[in-house]
Structure 1
Amino acid sequence: MKKLFVLLAAAVAPFGAALACTNFIITKGASADGSVMVSYAADSHGLYGALYHTPGGRHKAGALLPVYEWDTGRYLTDIPQPARTWSTVGNMNEHSLIIAETTYGGRHELEDPTGRIDYGSLIYIALQRAKTAREAIDVIVELADTYGYASSGESFSIADPDEAWIMELIGKGFKDDGRGGNARKGIVWVARRIPDGYVCAHANQARITTFPKDDPENCLYAPDVVEFAREIGYYQGSDEEFSFSDAYAPADFGALRGCEARVWAFFRTVADGMDTYTDYAMGYNKTNKMPLWVKPRAKVAPKTVFDCMRDHYEGTPMDMTADLGAGGHGCPYRWRPMYFEVDGEEYCNERATATQQTGFWFVAQARPDVPRDMGILWFGVDDAATSCLTPIYCSATEVPACFSETNGSMLDYSPTSAFWLFNRVTNFAYMRYNMIAADIRKVVDAWENDQLQTQVPQTDAKAATLPAKKRVRYLTDHSVRTAQALFDRWSKLDKYLLVKYMDGNVKSEHAGVLEFLDGSGTAAHFVDNGNGRDIPDNIQFPGYGEKWKRAVAADNGEILKVINE
């Protein structure tokens, strides 16, 4: 029996592994507002969604930085601090440098047990030390080659206001140098600049195939990336035909269906001609490879990227709302494990971009038409399909209390934590998804459109009149206040949904959810029987979908059948 294997990713947050992350990359020539955008979902069943901040500063000679493995908290080593480091908030620094990741794993024999810099540390240390994407690539390579790479195969999205890159790397395994060290310490890697006007994506499968060897403006790589593959026996052909992903991370059914399919879903949303690759995305034809990047049919707006992170393969053969697995209420989620067996045959549940186990997610914008300290990290927690993004300016020196890593944990509920609040709402939505999620989405769209179209432009205009230090304080205060306003709005939404949908019934309303949130939020919003006792009238009982009813009848119809005499 063939075993399906999906490459799973680790998150870049302390002490909690995340599985199967997703990145979309939009160059400035492909975006509607001229910004470079990178999206990311840190998807983990054990990750607490929080926003992390590291202040920048100057360091004395001899100062050391302790390095801890992001997934486990394991101490790895101390490394020298540079004279100057930059402030970071989430996966963005004060210069609008963005770094995100997905883990593809690759050949496990290339993992180095002696490595002292893991993938998460590479990201956050690079954000502290680099101002541009090219500088970040240099920092990542230098750190991994100097201290040894402690993780498996990784794809990085690296972007600044001018350009965007996809970088893929993997370790070299272990070979005893005779002195107790590793003669193969370091990484093999390739980084490709995404052509302006195009979009790219990766989702836990290495995607760089062949690449130019004589175009350093657009392609950088380890000097031994081809020769090492020959040495190990992964490749025997010419330099020109060498494919990084085929050598270091050959794809199987699971890598296509569980990983590449997410890239395909994004590409088909923004570009034409992607139905040609349906058989590839479904794992049926791995020779029909998608391109590394595609040109969108129209300029891609930030809101489009937000919504692409909410995808469940709607309108495709893998639509998660359409089959019996969605239950009687169209729930687009399948609880783990991803695979199940029936009568000796193995089957897979889909793994879409939006997933229930997201810890945090973001869409970062590096904007070339404003000062670099005015980049925006649109940040959210929990399932992207039923959560909301709020703007955090990249120079913010304070994290909103509702997003703080000290406010609750995966084992400690906090009533002031956005992560717990959004999980309350989302988990309630799973009960009757086709109705509750629609109400949530109205609130999401209203909030995000208002921020994009009104609040951010007004904030930008005010900030542009301020000197640098006052601008940073103003943008920090705005980011904190706005995040708290979103938290307060979600608190009202939480109460509204419970009152409206309690026990599987639906109470009738005088108006919709937006009116409730913008109004008093009292019982007068709902229809009562007119007797002055707040007793609801015209309660609705929506029942189940047709497919579900037919399935129940087929399964247990003889017992449930009504007999009319």
Structure 2
Amino acid sequence: MKKLSIFASLFMLLAIFTASTASACTNYLVTRGASADGSNMITYAADSHVLYGELYFRPAADWAEGTMIDVYEWDTGKYLGQIPQVAHTNSVIGNMNEFQVAIGETTWGGVEELGSQEGAIIDYGSLMYLALQRSKTAREAIKVMTELVETYGYYSSGESFSISDANEVWILEMIGKGNGEKGAVWAARMIPDGYVSGHANHARITTFPLEGKTSISSDKIDKIFNPEVTTVYAKDVISFAKEKGLYTKDGKNKNFSFSDSYGPVDFGGARFCEIRVWTFFNRVNKDMAKYFDYVKGNVKLDKNGYATNRMPLWIKPDHKIELSEVKDAMRDHLEGTELDMSKDLGAGPFGNPYRWRPLTWEVDGVTYCNERATATQQTGFSFVAQSRNWLPDAVGGINWFGVDDAASTVYFPMYCGATRVPESFAVGNGKMMDFTNKSAFWVFNQVSNFAYTRYSEIHPEIRNKQLELATKYEKFTKIIDMAAEGMFKADKAGAIEFLTDFSCNQGDNLTNEWRNFYGYLFAKFMDGNIKTKDGNKQNPTMKQPGYSDKWKKAVVKETGDKLKTIGASH
């Protein structure tokens, strides 16, 4: 048997997440019937304080019989074992492959005793990238993922996966069986066309239809390709829960809830996780206020310990959703709610909607929390994967990719058929403790971290720049779509090179433009001033805005007469 050392090295490069990553990601799912242009979309924010944002690339390849893959845990780089390679693997850019299949994830942990499995080889990160390399549809990806963990064991804890292609969007939720048993229990559901869903570090599949015309168990997994099937689940998902005492032994199977059994919701699950799903739902449906009490952490339980007031797995939006809305959903800080992070004293004098960790803190023995909003400072990378079934795959799939904080990033278009990535976003261009201004990750961090110092003044400039570039990219891609689609009929290779050049140019041009933008912001806002050029005059005009009245009053309340000036009052 041959050992694939190159593939092993690639997995080592991907081992850049730490355990902190596994507790802080966000996915939104939009079906084509719910989107304004008829595309399927899923989002993913890979959040970790030590994740270096890069755009991974794996070219398509053919492999000799007997080739083996060394598998390393994505979070830690720990070697887990070997599995056989398949004869051919797809090209994958980021979390989207050449067939418009995209996969994102969020970790929810779940029942602690099921969180480790000795001898298991497949972790959640490996599942995503192996499935992208081996699948041409979302359904095939689910089959690949569930068969991999059944064959080689599941190394991770509870996980939710978003899986999309040009025609369908699915959610797959999985948790291991713990030590002593191999594999995982899981359930997967197709989001009905015209609906949206989401998950953010908490299991969301509750009850689901059992064996029937539209639902199958894993012992009939080959039937997943029947388009009538919209639910698939592990054959022992209920019996295993009963065996472990997670669901009452005499409970009716039809009443079984995956989430409430394997990942019960508590205050943290609602306030830190489900609330991020709610913010997206609330943007697209005006009837979501009724769930706000739940997402604030007021979870109501029935006699079985099941939550009774939680949100549905999917909802129907009250309007068709634009791509721009999906991008902006990733930038949410709970604006417009009583938990708006820019409004309380913790926001400081400049309305900063960020709170440095830890997430909870104590005063006089009482525990308090900061909010965990969708947009967060520790994002390594995020994306909106857009799949469009009316175009050739290489043209139809766009990975709208950005690095760093989603609220300050710009998503540039990376076509899934491209055969390389922009140098400024490529793996190996800088590291977490190796600064280089040639890297998009570092350039975007310079801008966002500068904005954190005086958010109310600096971020509006960032927002205007975002909108300007987003408008440009969406206009460009409409033209590129038409040109590439026409080229495909005569010269497929030429069309792919055309898409590659466009994508790489936009990514590298964006980094250059953002580097210059940082220089502009720094010159304008340094030293607490706001300066603007005044024609050809040597000196700029200058304002010194000081602090808000709210902040001044807070300072007076804290300091009393200490800062009071002596003399006549005005």
Check whether TM > 0.5.
yes
1:472-508 deviation line (CA, Å, top 9, x unaligned): 1111111000111111211121111011001110013
Match of 1:16 in 2: 17
Picking from 62, 81, 84, the partner of 1:80 is 84
Picking from 183, 206, 209, the partner of 1:209 is 206
For the residues of structure 2 that align with 1:544 and 1:228, how far apart are their CA atoms? 59
Q: Is the 8 A contact 2:82 2:121 kept in 1?
A: no
Cα drift, residue 364 of structure 1: 0.4
The one-letter code matched in structure 2 to 1:304 is E
SS in structure 2 at match of 1:500: helix
1:290 to 2:272 alignment: no
1:152 to 2:157 alignment: yes
For the residues of structure 2 that align with 1:189 and 1:545, how far apart are their CA atoms? 52
Picking from 308, 323, 326, the partner of 2:344 is 323
Q: Is the 8 A contact 1:507 1:527 kept in 2?
A: no
1:413-468 deviation line (CA, Å, top 9, x unaligned): 0110000000001100011101100001100011011111x100111111012222
Cα drift, residue 15 of structure 1: 2.2
1:312-332 deviation line (CA, Å, top 9, x unaligned): 000001101111110000000
Match of 1:522 in 2: none
Equivalent residues in 2 for 1:307-456, closer than 5 Å: 307-374=328-395, 375-452=397-474, 454-456=475-477
The one-letter code matched in structure 2 to 1:63 is T
Cα drift, residue 235 of structure 1: 0.4
Q: Identity rate of aligned residues, in percent? A: 53
1:177-221 deviation line (CA, Å, top 9, x unaligned): xxxxxxx10000000000000000000000000000122311000
4+ runs of 1 displaced by more than 3 Å? none
For the residues of structure 1 that align with 2:297 and 2:71, how far apart are their CA atoms? 39
SS in structure 2 at match of 1:547: helix
Cα drift, residue 114 of structure 1: 2.2
Match of 1:515 in 2: none
For the residues of structure 2 that align with 1:546 and 1:345, how far apart are their CA atoms? 30
Match of 1:255 in 2: 269
The one-letter code matched in structure 2 to 1:292 is L
The one-letter code matched in structure 1 to 2:298 is Y
Q: Is the 8 A contact 1:303 1:449 kept in 2?
A: no
Instruction: Report how many residues are paired.
Output: 524
Match of 2:503 in 1: 479
SS in structure 2 at match of 1:386: coil
1:100 to 2:104 alignment: yes
The one-letter code matched in structure 2 to 1:487 is T
Match of 1:36 in 2: 40
Q: Is the 8 A contact 2:418 2:496 kept in 1?
A: yes
For the residues of structure 2 that align with 1:485 and 1:451, how far apart are their CA atoms? 12
Equivalent residues in 2 for 1:170-189, closer than 5 Å: 170-175=175-180, 184-189=181-186
Match of 1:547 in 2: 550
1:556 to 2:559 alignment: yes
Picking from 226, 246, 268, the partner of 1:234 is 246
Match of 2:192 in 1: 195
1:332-362 deviation line (CA, Å, top 9, x unaligned): 0000001111111110000000000000000
Cα drift, residue 13 of structure 1: 4.6
For the residues of structure 2 that align with 1:342 and 1:550, how far apart are their CA atoms? 23
Cα drift, residue 559 of structure 1: 0.6
Structure 2 unpaired stretches of 5+ = 1-12, 216-228, 301-307
For the residues of structure 1 that align with 2:120 and 2:556, how far apart are their CA atoms? 58
Match of 1:464 in 2: 485
The one-letter code matched in structure 2 to 1:419 is F
1:163 to 2:168 alignment: yes
Match of 2:122 in 1: 117
Q: Is the 8 A contact 1:56 1:85 kept in 2?
A: yes
The one-letter code matched in structure 2 to 1:87 is S
Structure 1 unpaired stretches of 5+ = 1-11, 176-183, 509-525
Cα drift, residue 557 of structure 1: 2.4
Q: Is the 8 A contact 2:266 2:299 kept in 1?
A: no
What TM-score results when the alignment is normalised by the length of structure 2? 0.91
Q: Is the 8 A contact 1:41 1:361 kept in 2?
A: yes
What TM-score results when the alignment is normalised by the length of structure 1? 0.91
The one-letter code matched in structure 2 to 1:486 is L
